[in-house]
């Protein structure tokens, strides 16, 4: 997945600037460990290794799934800047089930693979009889568990499946009113070293301002809730001149969901996220944010 994402950004940079980009693979603890992500540092383990390679001069730029980046300002890395946010891909979640089944077609007690509390909570809200099974591994490994019959289905990010050429395996795409995506899902982030303005300007040509506004609002909500990527929180914003956003915090069993929605000019994206977070906190969101150990949000 990481290689596919990097290749996507590299092709975009070359198309817009004429500059060739070499892909350099970086293996992280998150890639080789079979432990749940919360046990080894969350999705930040993917980010930190790439940032170390940047600071060591081994690479000139790093491509991340934007939702892997820590939302809190404390998560900002010294000596590194966010240089670009390319146009966001489809942020929705997708079901891959056997025999082309949609969620409503699955048998009672169907086993659905997901390592995400957010996805599990919303699946249970749609169908309380489902059995959500924690799962790790790359997309191919997860899809293989469906093919083998070990699972009735898996839920993954549609953008991730599309990037690796597996969109045709999708049997149902969930609209945001059915399953809110994770903040930043479907978006990529390009980082480079601070103090290299020419490189930052070169990378900046692939930035999409509407995508920047949307993910800024979503991640501002996550920051204000003081929650990580493993918390059962969904958010989706879209628009630029008029940014509309919906957000939810849910119990892990799907029995309780707190929702908020609102709008603001794109230039006030950060305020919009903070305002919706404040609304959710007033409704009691802090009591739902704590997540048991052993769960993780799917890395795209």
Just list the catalytic residues: 67-68, 118-119, 136, 142, 229
d(CA 295, CA 143): 19
16: buried, middle or exposed (CB in 10 Å: 19+, 13-18, 0-12)? exposed
DSSP structure class, residue 285: T
Structure tokens at 148: 């083998």
Per the CB < 8 A criterion, the answer to whether 221 and 253 are in contact is no
d(CA 4, CA 154): 21
Strand-pairing partners, residue 14, are none
d(CA 93, CA 118): 11
204: buried, middle or exposed (CB in 10 Å: 19+, 13-18, 0-12)? middle
Residues 6+ apart with CB under 8 A from 7: 23
Listed in sequence order, the DSSP H helices in 113-208 are 117-126, 139-147, 158-163, 197-203
Q: Which of 257, 109, 70 is nearest to 179 (CA)?
A: 257
Per the CB < 8 A criterion, the answer to whether 155 and 110 are in contact is no
């Amino acid at each position: 997945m990481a290689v596919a994402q990097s290749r996507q950004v590299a092709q975009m940079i070359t198309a817009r600037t004429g500059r060739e980009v070499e892909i350099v693979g970086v293996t992280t603890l998150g890639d080789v460990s079979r432990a749940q992500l919360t046990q080894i540092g969350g999705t930040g383990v993917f980010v930190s290794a790439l940032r170390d390679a940047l600071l060591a001069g081994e690479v000139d730029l790093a491509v991340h799934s934007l939702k892997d980046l820590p939302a809190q300002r404390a998560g900002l890395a010294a000596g590194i800047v966010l240089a670009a946010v390319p146009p966001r891909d489809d942020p929705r979640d997708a079901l891959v089930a056997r025999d082309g089944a949609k969620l409503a077609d699955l048998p009672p007690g169907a086993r659905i693979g997901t390592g995400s509390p957010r996805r599990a909570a919303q699946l249970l809200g749609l169908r309380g009889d489902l059995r959500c099974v924690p799962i790790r591994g790359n997309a191919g490994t997860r899809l293989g568990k469906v093919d083998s019959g070990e699972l009735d289905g898996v839920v993954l990010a549609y953008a991730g499946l599309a990037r690796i050429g597996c969109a045709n395996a999708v049997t149902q795409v969930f609209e945001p009113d059915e399953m809110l995506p994770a903040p930043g899902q479907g978006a990529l982030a390009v980082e480079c070293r601070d103090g290299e303005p020419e490189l930052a300007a070169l990378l900046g040509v692939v930035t999409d301002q509407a995508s920047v506004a949307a993910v800024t609002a979503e991640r501002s909500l996550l920051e204000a809730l003081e929650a990580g990527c493993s918390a059962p929180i969904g958010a989706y914003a879209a628009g630029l001149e008029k940014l509309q956003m919906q957000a939810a915090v849910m119990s892990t069993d799907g029995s309780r969901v707190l929702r908020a929605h609102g709008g603001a000019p794109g230039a006030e994206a950060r305020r919009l996220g903070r305002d919706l977070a404040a609304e959710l906190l007033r409704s009691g969101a802090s009591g739902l944010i704590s997540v048991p150990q052993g769960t993780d949000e799917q890395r795209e």
